[in-house]
């Protein structure tokens, strides 16, 4: 595979990186890029977690995948397509991006996963090593810098990096604060996301300057998702007030109660919402296909303008 013509996305819940190279020429029927490379966590995992035998964090059961063309779960942590699938289809590469660990996969796709939430906020394994979130952010940014350097050495020249979403607005994070009965976003975690994004944006010009011939674009994930949380009516998200619980539906997932269910807790026995497209989140962590479609459209516009510049 010629990496000089490849587009690579790196999507962490902590950071999203898309490393792209030269676009294919003209013709709408031709792929805009010959391949798509995705790096990130479970929000962009198209099925890698199906293969490690020592993990229980899987999405190989309904209701995951219920809105995919075949209505079957295949490892995607949502009701339908993820951002990699949406962008790959827009670029005429393929409709569904296969996981890198899929047996007999060609060398035209690649993925890697990482997770900021579980490692620092929810299951604080990294917090024992990094006592302040600022130092953990610097650790992540250093690893990101190294990864970009590796991709550059393999021939990638155009790179898009997306920042953190408002982590404090994820349903599971709001649930983690047991006294948060009104389901407010956790402002400190959101501030941490903002600070990280500011650091990332400051670091990008330095990265680009050190990699001759590279182009690196920052993509804002935080503000679109936060706006969807604060103004759901603009996006068709159900804002029906649930009197019995005092909640709004953009503050919980579609699966089960929407407060905690994810992976094995969101299963075939879980009751789901009637209209999946009216919910910002499908489970307590992962967005719905409707949300991914909106973010995918924004990213597509940014990428096309950036490549054409």
269 lies in some domain: no
Annotation says 42 is catalytic: yes
Cα–Cα dist 263/273, whole Å = 17
Mean pLDDT comparison of 20-29, 123-132, 226-235, 243-252, highest-scoring range:
226-235
262 lies in some domain: no
Q: Looking at the 3D structure of the chain, how many domains does it have?
A: 1
265 lies in some domain: no
Give residue-wise pLDDT tens across range 146-189: 999 998 998 888 787 888 999 999 999 999 887 778 888 999 99
276 lies in some domain: no
User: Of 85, 115, 238, 283, which is the active-site residue?
Assistant: 283
261 lies in some domain: no
User: Of 193, 214, 263, 286, which is the active-site residue?
Assistant: 286
% residues pLDDT > 90 (the chain): 48
How confident is residue 220, by pLDDT bands cut at 50, 70 and 90?
Answer: very high
**Residue 13 pLDDT exceeds 50:** no
Please give the pLDDT value at position 242.
36
Cα–Cα dist 309/299, whole Å = 15
User: Of 42, 214, 263, 288, which is the active-site residue?
Assistant: 42
Domain residue limits at 60: 3-224+288-308
How confident is residue 7, by pLDDT bands cut at 50, 70 and 90?
Answer: low
């Amino acid at each position: 595979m010629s990496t000089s013509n490849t587009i690579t996305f790196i999507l962490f819940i902590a950071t999203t990186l898309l490393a792209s190279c030269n676009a294919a020429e003209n013709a709408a029927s031709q792929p805009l890029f010959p391949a798509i490379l995705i790096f990130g966590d479970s929000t962009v995992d198209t099925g890698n977690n199906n293969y490690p035998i020592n993990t229980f964090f899987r999405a190989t059961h309904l209701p995951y995948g219920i809105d995919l063309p075949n209505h079957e779960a295949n490892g995607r942590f949502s009701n339908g397509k993820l951002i990699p699938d949406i962008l790959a289809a827009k670029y005429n590469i393929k409709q569904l991006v296969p996981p890198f660990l899929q047996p007999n996969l060609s060398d035209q796709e690649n993925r890697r996963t990482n997770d900021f939430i579980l490692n620092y906020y929810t299951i604080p394994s990294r917090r024992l090593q990094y006592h302040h979130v600022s130092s953990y952010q610097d650790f992540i940014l250093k690893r990101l810098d190294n990864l970009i350097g590796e991709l550059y050495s393999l021939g990638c020249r155009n790179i898009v990096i997306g920042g953190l979403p408002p982590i404090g607005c994820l349903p599971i994070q709001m649930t983690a604060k047991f006294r948060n009965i009104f389901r407010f976003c956790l402002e400190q975690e959101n501030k941490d996301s903002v600070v990280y994004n500011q650091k990332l944006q400051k670091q990008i010009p330095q990265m680009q300057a050190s990699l001759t011939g590279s182009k690196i674009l920052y993509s804002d994930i935080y503000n679109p998702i936060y706006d969807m949380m604060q103004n759901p009516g603009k996006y068709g998200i159900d804002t029906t007030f649930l009197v019995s619980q005092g909640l709004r539906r953009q503050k919980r997932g579609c699966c089960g109660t929407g407060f905690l269910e994810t992976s094995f807790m969101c299963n075939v026995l879980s009751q789901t919402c009637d209209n999946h497209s009216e919910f910002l989140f499908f489970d307590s962590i992962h967005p719905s296909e409707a949300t991914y479609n909106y973010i995918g459209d924004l990213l597509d516009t940014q990428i096309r303008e950036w490549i054409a510049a």
